[in-house]
Amino acid sequence: MSLTTDVATTFPAHDPAGWRQLPTSYTPLNHARVAELMAKEWERYSKTTPGSADHAARSTKTLPLGVTSSFQYWDPYPMAVKSARGAYVTDCDGRQVLDLSMGFGAMLVGHLNPTVVAKVKEFLDDVGTLFVTPSPVSTEVAEQFKERFGLDMLRFTNSGTESTGYAVRTARAYTGKKAIVKIEGGYHGGYDGLSVSVKPGIDEIGPADNPIPQVPFDVEPGEVHCVAYNDLGQMERVLAAHGDRVACVVMEPVIENLGIVLPDAGYLAGVRALCDAHGVLLIFDEVKTGLTAGAHGAAARLGVKPDLITLAKSIGGGLPLAAFGGTAEVMQVVVDNRMAHFGTYNGNPLCMAAAMAVNEVATPQALAAAEQVNDNAMEAMDTIIREYELPAHTVGFGVKGAVTWSPTPIRNYRDYKLSTDFEVAELGWLWGINRGILTPPGMDDQWLVSLAHTDADMGKWVDAFGELAKELRA
């Protein structure tokens, strides 16, 4: 039986800077059929990836779970990659696999981008690998970032975790306050204060209108308050009650660790106003957005300026590069040593070389072209969703996209947990892998259209999605 949804009047409009197409009607899926397909696909995976299985047997003897980051693991074993070029990776079974994970956004310019490779080789031949002194090469990249992202001052780090951690410390030094407000369900790296309520169990976090922060045993967070994304009323209540102790609000402007969750129209401007009213700094975690949001990042695209921005992934061309920066007034705490910032590898010349190359090739025109490829793919998937009346919808921001297995919009973490059909999401992910298409491991990340992807590449993903839709209705 077909069900209708009146999304135009039931749900607030999303910020027009993002893409979201919701179905007007859908038919529930037969989950017995989903389970049947899942069993077949796992059998197919085991038969076609013996090289990855052999690698897992070897790697688990030395590396916990056999991986270098827990994000990389899935049961029974993850696909292991030997090499990559452009939009494709080659796995341990010799399969050419279309990469739509692309290092969670780090490979925006494509694997082994020729400009990145040439610049890094130039530095290896003529510049050096580490100075631990001031250098014109790091100054040049800092100037490029300043112009591109609208920052007055910035410092380089080596990871998103470092950047978000130092951004919080900067906010504390500037405000003289210690507490943090973060978005429920949001992920901001491994910094203790931001490891609270990262995808917690619904039964652990209390009522939706008064969230209880969930603190893992191994974390010492300090005072942290959690609020729902897209809920200005909740943000206002928390800041009114605790603002005299709150140093900062930390948030992804567009949440990209729960698929893609877009801000409601006017929401971010409202957060900005509340922070100003309560003397609280606003930190945008752009580790996953950054250049994937557009030529000048998400803050510029969305028209809301935070006090501090954290960057990583897309800026480094695959090398470990991150940064944090903001207004001159706030960054003065680093200048006068109220917040000392250290790091032996900060501004590493090879990372600077890669950043220079990314700055050269990630032009507004190139990023706009990649975004059009992404939009074309999502339009094609929308057609399939309508044809088969799937309980799903497309969401996109910049060069990233996702199919969310819910007929209604995901506006916050609880929507994500309670409305997403994770069984079908897992099937869709596995279906892609078995057809030579790698999306991020798990069911809550989004694909990336890099500068190396073409409409023909994305057509493979669209075709696979269409085959899945047909089989779901068989």
Q: The domain spanning residue 308 has which CATH number?
A: 3.40.640.10
Distance CA 432, CA 450 (A): 18
Where b means 16+ CB within 10 Å and e means fewer, 31-45 reads eeebeebbeebbeeb
Query: In terms of domains, do 253 and 386 share one?
Result: no
Query: In terms of domains, do 119 and 257 share one?
Result: yes
> Is residue 267 over pLDDT 60?
yes
∠ CA(219), CA(223), CA(229), 5° rounding?
Answer: 90
Which candidate, 397, 379, 383, places its Cα nearest to that of 458? 379
Query: In terms of domains, do 93 and 173 share one?
Result: no
Report the pLDDT averaged over residues 144-161. 98
The DSSP secondary structure of 82-116, one letter per residue, reads EEEEBTEEEETT--EEEESSGGGGTTTT-BT-HHH
Query: In terms of domains, do 137 and 183 share one?
Result: yes
> Is residue 374 over pLDDT 80?
yes
The DSSP secondary structure of 392-424, one letter per residue, reads -EEEEETTEEEEES-SS---SHHHHHHH--HHH
Report the pLDDT averaged over residues 234-256. 98
Of 39-53, 135-149, 159-173, 205-219, minimum mean pLDDT range: 205-219
Give the amino acid at 378: M
Residue 71: predicted pLDDT: 87
Task: Tell me which of 318, 338, 361 is where a domain ends.
Answer: 361
Number of domains, the chain = 2
Residue 221: predicted pLDDT: 92
Report the pLDDT averaged over residues 249-261. 96
Report the pLDDT averaged over residues 372-395. 97
> Is residue 4 over pLDDT 70?
no
Query: In terms of domains, do 390 and 349 share one?
Result: no
What is each CA distance from 74 to 272, 351, 421, 426, 440, in whole angstroms? 38, 30, 19, 11, 11
Would you place residue 346 in the very low, low, confident or very high pLDDT band (cuts 50, 70, 90)?
Answer: very high
Query: In terms of domains, do 77 and 183 share one?
Result: no
Task: Tell me which of 361, 385, 414 is where a domain ends.
Answer: 361
Q: What percent of the chain has pLDDT over 90?
A: 94
Query: In terms of domains, do 23 and 104 share one?
Result: yes
Report the pLDDT averaged over residues 386-409. 96
Strand order in the sheet with 322-326: 153-157, 322-326, 308-311, 281-286, 246-251, 179-183, 224-227
Residue 10: predicted pLDDT: 82
Query: In terms of domains, do 353 and 375 share one?
Result: no
Question: Which letter does DSSP use for residue 197 in this model?
Answer: T
Query: In terms of domains, do 336 and 402 share one?
Result: no
Find the domain containing 284 and state its range: 114-361
pLDDT tens sequence across 219-241:
999 999 999 999 999 999 999 99
Q: Kindly calculate the radius of gyration of the chain based on its CA atoms and give it in whole angstroms.
A: 22
Query: In terms of domains, do 199 and 76 share one?
Result: no
Would you place residue 440 in the very low, low, confident or very high pLDDT band (cuts 50, 70, 90)?
Answer: confident
Structure tokens at 424: 């079908």
Report the pLDDT averaged over residues 150-155. 98
Query: In terms of domains, do 145 and 241 share one?
Result: yes
* CATH number, domain with residue 35: 3.90.1150.10
> Is residue 297 over pLDDT 90?
yes
Residue 7: predicted pLDDT: 56
Would you place residue 443 in the very low, low, confident or very high pLDDT band (cuts 50, 70, 90)?
Answer: low
Residue 181: predicted pLDDT: 98
> Is residue 20 over pLDDT 90?
yes
Tokens 């300026």 — which residue?
A: 305
Report the pLDDT averaged over residues 162-172. 98
Task: Tell me which of 319, 336, 361 is where a domain ends.
Answer: 361
38 touches 424 (CB < 8 A) = no
Cis peptide before 216 (omega within 30 of 0): no
Report the pLDDT averaged over residues 47-63. 98
Mean pLDDT of the chain: 96
Residue 94: predicted pLDDT: 97
Would you place residue 21 in the very low, low, confident or very high pLDDT band (cuts 50, 70, 90)?
Answer: very high
> Is residue 392 over pLDDT 60?
yes
Query: In terms of domains, do 129 and 243 share one?
Result: yes
Residue 442: predicted pLDDT: 61
> Is residue 8 over pLDDT 70?
no
Residue 9: predicted pLDDT: 60
Q: What percent of the chain has pLDDT over 70?
A: 97
